[in-house]
Amino acid sequence: VFISFFFKQKKSKKAVRIPASSGRQAGCALPFGLAASNEEETILEAGDDDDADGGADQPAILEESELTAEATQDNDGHAAHNTMAVKSIRKRAIDYMRTKHKVTFTAAEEKLAGGLFPKVAGLAHRVHDSSTLKEEFDGQVRTMRNMGHIPEGNKTRLDRCVPTRWNSDLACLEAHLYFEPAVRALIGSNRNLSAFELTSDQWKLAHILEQCLAIFEGPTKLFSQSEVPMIVDVISMLSNLGKELQGIRDDQLKDEDDPTQFVVPNIVRVAAHAGMMMVDKYSMFSTQCDIYQIAIVMCPDRKLEWFKSNGFSMDEIAKIRKLVEDRFSSRYQKEPPVLPNRPPTAQPSRSVSFRFN
């Protein structure tokens, strides 16, 4: 949801065919040999509003939107549904920041930000898909390295933005900034690439976003592992990510060159709040199920100290402690020992003697 503020998509419609309910409960199978005769067609719209007004960024937006649509093509409308969910969170974040923090951005600022990633990702795709452009780009990289404008190293290509690969946005942006002199020279020498040229404000925004997107790198690596991450690691990660996003949202450092402006643009602060809303959505599950808090307390390197370090009040920590103690007592408390039944005490037998005369 954070990146959506900087990746404007062309609006498209996805038709999803679903069986008509006809009074049956969802998930109930039809009788053997019968098929659903009536189908309802639901139209889900993905993409941003006012996509026809992209200005100079419109060619890059259209081209990158088509590539994104191909990469995320599905048969049941999941991609369109996810896009609509993101748009809902974005709208709520914009409304919240406007009413609670008096932070807003203009339509021009929104358009500038939305055209950033279509240009960055679009150029990477163009260079990757064209051997001619790849050769031109390699030549520019060699020239700029010989001039000392690009550091020496093994990196030689622009990373592509892959919609289905986590955090490829950061890799794509980092490569674009790493090769900035070569990128500028390549676009300047090829008029066919003018649609992918960043404005001075977009270059400035790109450098800020590079630092912002870096906070997602740790969580991405955690969830990209083949092993399922432990609960305690996930909860800690969500807590840290929320704090990082809050720091971006509340950043009010003034720009040295222009004291009337903040270093972090308003649209980035709003995007950070949208990210916080998504983190809160998943963090909410940890408060609805006791096992998450118990797992943290039982973790040797966290225990109750973790809650103290993460801003929990003493009353909240006391409740968590009692929760753990009560759960332990109910599950593992030993019952009082039961004495074994002793057999009845045998009475001494009386000897009976018979006298025979």
What confidence score (pLDDT) does residue 29 get?
35
Show the tokens assigned to 101.
């923090």
CA 174 – CA 56 distance, rounded (Å): 23
Beta strands, E only, 255-335 = none
Q: Which of 228, 321, 326, 243 is nearest to 283 (CA)?
A: 243
137 has pLDDT over 50: yes
What are the φ and ψ backbone dihedral angles of 18, each rounded to 5 degrees? -130, 145
At 178-201, the pLDDT tens digits run: 999 999 999 999 999 999 999 999
Ranges 188-192, 222-226, 351-355: which has the least confidence: 351-355
pTM of the predicted model, to two decimals?
A: 0.74
228 has pLDDT over 80: no
Beta-carbon contacts of residue 94 (< 8 Å; ≥ 6 apart): 270
What confidence score (pLDDT) does residue 254 get?
80
Task: Look at the block and give the residue holding tokens 């790109």.
Answer: 206
CA 286 – CA 283 distance, rounded (Å): 5
Q: How confident is the model at residue 255 (pLDDT cuts 50, 70, 90)?
A: confident
Beta-carbon contacts of residue 206 (< 8 Å; ≥ 6 apart): 116, 120, 173, 176, 177, 198
At 271-327, the pLDDT tens digits run: 999 999 999 887 776 667 788 888 889 888 889 998 888 888 899 899 999 999 998
Task: Look at the block and give the residue holding tokens 């009040």.
Answer: 313
What confidence score (pLDDT) does residue 251 get?
92
Show the tokens assigned to 264.
């972090």
What confidence score (pLDDT) does residue 57 get?
61
CA 158 – CA 4 distance, rounded (Å): 21
What confidence score (pLDDT) does residue 17 get?
44
Top-confidence residue, 122 or 163: 122
What confidence score (pLDDT) does residue 16 get?
43
Top-confidence residue, 18 or 250: 250
Residue type for 113, please? A
The pLDDT of 17-26, averaged and rounded, is 39
Average pLDDT, the chain: 80
The pLDDT of 216-229, averaged and rounded, is 82
165 has pLDDT over 90: no
Through-space distance between the first and last CA atoms of the chain, rounded to whole angstroms: 116
Q: What is the largest CA-CA distance in the chain?
A: 145
Top-confidence residue, 105 or 67: 105
Q: Which of 208, 210, 219, 229 is nearest to 279 (CA)?
A: 219
Top-confidence residue, 88 or 16: 88
266 has pLDDT over 70: yes
What confidence score (pLDDT) does residue 20 get?
42
Q: How confident is the model at residue 354 (pLDDT cuts 50, 70, 90)?
A: very low
Top-confidence residue, 110 or 22: 110
Q: Provide the percentage of residues in the chain whose pLDDT is more than 90.
A: 43
CA 5 – CA 23 distance, rounded (Å): 41
At 80-131, the pLDDT tens digits run: 667 788 889 999 999 999 999 999 999 999 999 999 999 999 999 999 999 9
